[in-house]
């Protein structure tokens, strides 16, 4: 390692001592952060964070010292370094808060008015560069995305001399993190704390430039892989969980304890603490060895403990089999307390937060869904570390797609989301329902943080992306797409691929150029809507007088016209059924505005249906996808019966009041 | 509970059964208005799914995704037809307000009134009952406000407590208390209605005060009476719900019949409450032998065959010893 920045012998000796201490401490780590058959390093370790933090549960604040060693692998000298201070987003004039207020709400929280409980901050009290000195006064807040002068979520420091390619530079940062009452994946609730995005984090040098966006309400994060050694001091009655594995737990003799964690080849570090946590442990036997499952939950959620563990194992099994191995030694699942739901449904490397209720119904698969979804992010975000600021769909969209595949496999396609009291809903239908209201707003390719609104971001990033991939299965097959995801995962894990990398991989594995599809579904906002325009049969001897139709004897000419109502061009299949039991399947390339099919046979048409297997999730209107010659009254009667009952009951209730 | 008071509920039920034509008519009107309230939505559904296979997903298991599609699509947009439901539900409430006078008169006389008599009684008391309804709505609104308070308290204390169920327990306890208070207000104004019919009261405010006065000594008895009838309605609803969960999704007609049976029981329970209140009022009037001079009710012409129970003065009865 060349240490040009650290020029004096004293500095070099000092750093050598630190390095020696690191090696020693690493050797003291009895347990590897990886599964037994995995040997690190797995990534280009650009960063190494050592953080010594002390948590004050009364103030909901952390005072910490961070030592960040950054390795310059950019191939060019670097003198400017940007850092994230994510917790500063929770201030009234921040860009995050502007966006959340603009769109009315963020997840479960409403931001119509400012409330002091939302306040959070990251305050850097000292910023030193080893070998250069104290640069605290050189720190400058910047707003690269929107120029908001009041946003303090990114600061940069200009070094007096650059860090040469291949060199390391070490930052020593003292900071105080003040947490909000739980909001946007971080914060406290009563004695519970989820510490996410809590420490100063360097940006990512990506495609020849620093990529260090402000914190936006719409999008999530992006960071480099590296190692984390974090020591947390807090009252000794607290139970902790964190990214990586726990390496030590020492009683300080003053009512506090210090717990140390170690993680490798991850790009973030989150932790949680609560004296009321109950720890449930289990193990998943994966293809690279056993993985420890550590669930942190509450007595009140006891009925969900087994559900969490079962859902996690079932998910890990399928991911292991379909996409690739989970290489870490442990996965920690945090079940937030009631009222702390904003901390739920979030992913951090080897550490996920889920969510349940004390009364969670069995047929409501929400608990399993969240567990599955967040574990899926270990692959699509955790290991395949795409830029969530810019390409949200690469993690949320692909993950939503795999969520539907896993849940469908577990519970059946029509009931994978809900199967309760006669009502059913498949997960793919839920994802499609996100997409339908915003189908014409933002393209997937648009930088996610610039999407029209939170609703549009959610609908497009999760719903449209998943629907787009599910629809793609009709072109290349479900197995081919699964193979493509496997190849994509194995090829790009522990790197930062782009959307082009993903699209190219699918093209390669499918063995066909799918750019016609990507242009519309990823880069465009074309409306997808195919419809049945006409379907009828007439006797071929219609011109004769007194035509008498006889079933099975009269020859009919059947006309079927399919129409492309939207701009999205896509090959569709249609099934035509006749009253003698015969049927025909037609495949239309969908390019023209309409197509006509004519049949001459001794049978009349009974029905025609586009996408008879219901695989095209992108179609905006399912109601015009079919036509039957015989009226279908059952559904009308069913809804009308319920509607009428509700009307009657409402009248009864009103009459009771007067 | 004494036998006498224990018999109130049974006597009320018998009265509803003897005058069951009232229930049938109320049920028929409820169905008719339900049909009218549903027609616009049904027509739209007819137009939209009559010739599509999409509806199959609603028939063979209720696919919420498809239902969402029906609600959401601009050309379908079933939500806009809820206006019609609200409208016809309101008509039913007005209808019930209108016929309450006739129903109570039929119960008071315990004989079948001819159409003219029934509607004469209905019309005669309509505006008086409107005034009563407005007064009761003020109280119901206050109870609604109190419910918001319960929700806030539930959120506040639930938020502070570590166990998950604290908020829920506060909410459910609050809900039960407010439910009982709501029932109390209902029975109070029902007594006022019964009294107004029995005594042909014209001035509703003093009537409400008097109704409270005569019933307060037996509030527990009356509340228990109303509560038991309400419980029958709720238990029926629960049983029907359990049956409904066992029905195959394609059993549309069976579902329809089950729903309408539920509706019949709900309406029956309401009439049962009114009948029981009438019986209670008549019994408490009978219990006091002293007669006083009262103005002759206008409706005397049509009720001359009835025993003139209502001419007894009301006196507060000692509380039931149960």
What DSSP line would sit under A198-214, residue for residue?
Answer: -S-EE-EEETTEEE-PP
B93 → closest Cβ in A623, A645, A655: A655
- The reported pLDDT for the residue numbered B216 is 85
Residue in chain A closest to B274 (alpha carbons) equals A656
Of the candidates A426, A623, A624, which has its C-beta nearest B65's C-beta? Answer: A426
Burial of A600 (0-12, 13-18, 19+ CB in 10 A): exposed
The shortest CB-CB distance from B34 to any of A423, A429, A644 is to A644
B135 — contact with chain A (CB < 8 Å)? no
> A120 at the B interface (CB within 8 A)?
no
Chain B contact probe: residue of A429, A644, A650 with most B CBs at under 10 A: A644
Say how many CA atoms lie within 13 Å of B261 toward its Cβ.
Answer: 14
**CB A138: neighbour CB atoms within 10 A?**
15
Strands ordered across the beta sheet of A256-266: A133-134, A121-129, A168-178, A61-71, A47-56, A226-235, A256-266, A245-251
Nearest-Cα distance to chain B for A47, in Å, is 39
pLDDT of residue A168: 97
Joined tokens for residue A590: 């969908």
| pLDDT averages per 10-residue partition of chain A, 658 residues | 38 45 44 90 97 98 98 97 98 95 80 90 97 96 97 98 97 98 93 97 97 96 98 98 97 97 98 97 97 97 96 98 98 96 95 93 94 98 97 97 98 93 90 92 96 94 98 97 98 98 98 97 96 95 85 93 97 97 96 97 96 95 94 92 96 96
Residues in chain A: 658
Question: How far is Cα B255 from Cα A640, in angstroms, rounded to an integer?
Answer: 11
Closest CA to A338 of B148, B156, B165: B165
Work out the minimum CA distance from B54 to partner chain A, whole angstroms. 6
User: Counting one residue from A and one from B, how many pairs have CB atoms under 8 Å apart?
Assistant: 212
Q: What is the pLDDT of residue B215?
A: 87
- pLDDT given for residue A185 in this prediction: 86
Burial of B292 (0-12, 13-18, 19+ CB in 10 A): exposed
Contact B33 A422 (CB under 8 A): no
Q: Do B72 and A437 touch (CB under 8 A)?
A: yes
Residue of B nearest to A429 (CA): B65
Select the residue from B64, B80, B161, B271 to test the A interface by mutation, using most A Cβ atoms within 10 A.
B64
Instruction: Report in angstroms the alpha-carbon separations of A433 from A265, A430, B66.
Output: 36, 5, 10
- C-alpha span between A541 and A538 (Å, rounded): 8
Quick one: which of A362, A348, A350 has its CA closest to A306? A362
Q: What is the pLDDT along chain B (322 residues), one digit of tens a residue?
A: 344 445 899 999 999 999 999 999 999 999 999 999 999 999 998 988 889 998 888 888 788 888 888 887 777 778 888 999 999 999 999 999 999 999 999 999 998 889 999 999 999 999 999 999 999 999 999 999 999 999 999 999 998 888 888 999 999 999 999 999 999 999 999 999 999 999 999 999 999 999 999 888 888 989 999 999 999 999 999 999 999 988 988 899 999 999 999 999 999 999 999 999 999 999 887 665 433 434 444 444 444 444 444 433 444 444 433 3
Asked whether B12 and A614 are in contact (CB, 8 A), the reply is: no
For residue A427, give the nearest of A461, A402, A458, A455 by alpha carbon: A402
Chain B hits for A414, Cβ within 8 Å? 61, 63
φ, ψ of residue A129 in degrees (nearest 5): -110, 120
Q: Which of A635, A655, A657 minimises the CB distance to B58? A: A635
Residue whose structure tokens are 């959120």 = B155
- Tell me, yes or no, if B89 comes closer than 8 A to chain A by beta carbon: yes
Of residues B34, B50, B164, nearest to A632 (C-beta): B50
Helix (H, G, I), strand (E, B) or coil at A440: coil
Contacts of A427 in chain B (CB under 8 A): none
Q: What is the pLDDT of residue B317?
A: 41
Helical H runs in A84-208?
95-102
Residue A437's alpha-carbon distances to A463, A469, B25, in angstroms, are 10, 18, 45
Q: Is A215 within 8 Å of A96 (Cβ atoms)? A: yes
Which pLDDT belongs to residue B48? Answer: 87
Q: What is the ipTM of this complex?
A: 0.88
User: Measured between CA atoms, how close is B203 to chain A, in angstroms?
Assistant: 18
Secondary structure class of A29 (helix, strand, coil):
coil
What pLDDT, on the 0 to 100 scale, is given for residue A384? 98
Q: Which residues of A touch B68 (CB under 8 A)?
A: 429, 433
pTM: 0.86
User: Which of B32, B53, B161 would you mutate first to test chain A, the one with the most A CBs within 10 A?
Assistant: B53
* Contact yes or no for A154/A85 (Cβ under 8 A): yes
B20: number of Cβ within 10 Å: 12
Using CB atoms within 10 A of its CB, is residue A21 exposed (0-12), middle (13-18) or buried (19+)? Answer: exposed
Model pLDDT for residues B31-90, shown as the tens digit of each residue:
999 999 999 999 998 988 889 998 888 888 788 888 888 887 777 778 888 999 999 999
E strand residue ranges, A316-460: 330-334, 346-348, 351-353, 418-420, 423-425
Does B256 contact A at CB distance below 8 Å?
Answer: yes
For the sheet with A423-425, list strands across it.
A418-420, A423-425, B62-63
């Amino acid at each position: 390692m060349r240490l040009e920045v650290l020029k004096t012998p004293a500095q070099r000796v000092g750093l050598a001592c630190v390095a020696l201490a690191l090696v020693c401490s690493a050797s003291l780590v009895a347990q590897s952060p990886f599964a037994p058959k995995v040997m690190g390093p797995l990534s280009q370790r650009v960063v190494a964070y050592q953080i010594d933090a002390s948590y004050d549960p009364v103030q909901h604040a952390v005072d910490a010292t961070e030592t960040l060693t950054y390795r310059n692998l950019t191939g060019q000298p670097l003198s400017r370094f940007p850092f994230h201070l994510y917790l500063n987003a929770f201030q009234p004039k921040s860009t995050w808060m502007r966006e959340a207020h603009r769109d009315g709400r963020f997840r479960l929280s409403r931001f119509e008015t400012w409330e002091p409980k939302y306040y959070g901050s990251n305050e850097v009290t000292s910023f030193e560069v080893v070998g250069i000195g104290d640069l605290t006064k050189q720190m400058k807040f910047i707003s690269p995305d929107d120029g908001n002068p009041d946003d303090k979520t990114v600061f940069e420091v200009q070094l007096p001399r650059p860090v040469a390619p291949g060199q390391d530079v070490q930052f020593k940062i003292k900071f105080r993190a003040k947490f909000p009452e739980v909001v946007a994946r971080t914060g406290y609730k009563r004695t519970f704390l989820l510490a996410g995005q809590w420490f100063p984090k360097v940006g990512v040098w990506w495609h020849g430039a620093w990529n260090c966006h402000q914190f936006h309400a719409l999008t999530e994060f992006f960071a480099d892989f590296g190692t984390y050694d974090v020591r947390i001091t807090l009252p000794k009655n607290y139970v902790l969980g964190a990214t990586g594995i726990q390496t030590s737990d020492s009683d300080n003799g003053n009512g506090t304890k210090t717990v140390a964690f170690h993680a490798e080849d991850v790009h973030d570090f989150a932790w949680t603490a609560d004296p009321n946590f109950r720890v449930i442990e289990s193990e998943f036997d994966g293809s690279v060895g056993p993985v420890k499952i550590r669930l942190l939950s509450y007595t009140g959620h006891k009925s969900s403990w087994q559900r969490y563990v079962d859902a996690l194992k079932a998910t890990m099994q399928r991911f292991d089999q379909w996409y690739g191995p989970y290489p870490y030694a442990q996965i920690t699942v945090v079940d937030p307390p009631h009222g702390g739901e904003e901390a739920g449904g979030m992913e951090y490397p080897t550490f996920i937060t889920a969510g349940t209720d004390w009364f969670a119904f069995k047929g409501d698969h929400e608990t399993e869904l969240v567990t599955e979804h967040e574990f899926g992010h270990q692959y699509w975000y955790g290991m395949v570390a795409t830029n969530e600021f810019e390409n949200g769909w690469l993690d949320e969209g692909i993950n939503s797609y795999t969520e539907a595949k896993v849940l469908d496999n577990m519970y059946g396609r029509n009931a994978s989301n809900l199967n309760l009291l006669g009502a059913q809903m498949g997960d793919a239908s839920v994802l499609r329902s996100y997409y339908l209201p915003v189908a014409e707003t933002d393209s997937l390719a648009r930088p996610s943080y610039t999407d029209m609104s939170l609703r549009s971001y959610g609908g497009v990033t999760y719903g449209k992306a998943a629907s787009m991939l599910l629809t793609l299965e009709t072109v290349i097959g479900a197995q081919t797409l699964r193979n493509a995801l496997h190849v994509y995962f194995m090829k790009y894990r522990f790197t930062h691929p782009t959307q082009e990398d993903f699209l190219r991989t699918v093209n390669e594995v499918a063995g066909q150029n799918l750019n016609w599809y990507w242009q519309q579904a990823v880069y465009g906002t074309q409306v997808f809507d195919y419809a049945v325009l006409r379907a009828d049969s007439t006797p071929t001897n219609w011109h004769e007088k007194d035509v008498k139709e006889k079933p099975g004897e009269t020859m009919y000419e059947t006309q079927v016209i399919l129409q492309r109502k939207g701009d999205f061009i896509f090959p569709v299949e249609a099934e035509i059924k006749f009253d003698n039991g015969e049927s025909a399947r037609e495949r239309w390339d969908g390019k023209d505005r309409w197509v006509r099919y004519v049949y001459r046979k001794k049978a009349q048409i009974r029905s025609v249906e586009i996408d008879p297997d219901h695989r095209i999730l992108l179609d905006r209107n399912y109601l015009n996808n079919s036509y039957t010659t015989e009226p279908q009254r059952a559904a009308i009667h069913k809804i009308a019966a319920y509607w009428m009952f509700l009307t009657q009951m409402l009248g009864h209730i009103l009459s009771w009041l007067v | 509970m004494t036998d006498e008071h224990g018999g109130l509920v049974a006597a009320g039920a018998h009265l509803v059964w003897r005058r069951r034509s009232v229930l049938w008519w109320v049920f028929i009107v409820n169905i008719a208005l339900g049909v009218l309230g549903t027609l616009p939505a049904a027509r739209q559904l007819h137009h939209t799914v009559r010739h599509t296979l999409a509806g199959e997903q609603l028939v063979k298991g209720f696919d919420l995704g498809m239902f969402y599609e029906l609600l959401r699509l601009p050309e379908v947009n079933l939500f806009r037809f809820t206006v019609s439901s609200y409208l016809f539900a309101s008509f039913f409430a007005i209808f019930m307000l209108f016929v309450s006078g006739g129903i109570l008169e039929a119960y008071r006389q315990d004989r079948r009134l001819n159409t003219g008599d029934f509607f004469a009684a209905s019309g005669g008391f309509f505006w008086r009952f409107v005034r009563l309804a407005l007064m009761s709505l003020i109280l119901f609104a206050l109870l609604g406000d109190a419910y918001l308070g319960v929700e806030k308290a539930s959120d506040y204390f639930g938020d502070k407590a570590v166990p998950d169920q604290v908020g829920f327990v506060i909410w459910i306890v609050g809900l039960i208390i407010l439910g009982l208070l709501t029932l109390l207000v209902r029975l109070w104004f029902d007594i006022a209605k019964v009294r107004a019919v029995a005594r042909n009261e014209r001035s509703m405010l003093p009537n409400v005060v008097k109704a409270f006065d005569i019933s307060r000594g037996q509030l527990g008895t009356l509340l228990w009476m109303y509560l038991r009838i309400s419980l029958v309605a709720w238990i029926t609803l629960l049983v029907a719900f359990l049956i409904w969960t066992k029905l195959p999704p394609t059993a549309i007609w069976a579902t329809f019949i089950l729903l309408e049976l539920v509706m019949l029981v709900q309406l029956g329970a309401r009439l049962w409450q009114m009948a029981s209140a009438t019986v209670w009022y008549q019994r408490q009037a009978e219990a006091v032998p002293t007669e006083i001079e009262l103005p002759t009710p206008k409706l005397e012409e049509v009720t001359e065959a009835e025993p003139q129970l209502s001419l007894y003065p009301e006196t507060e009865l000692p509380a039931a010893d149960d």
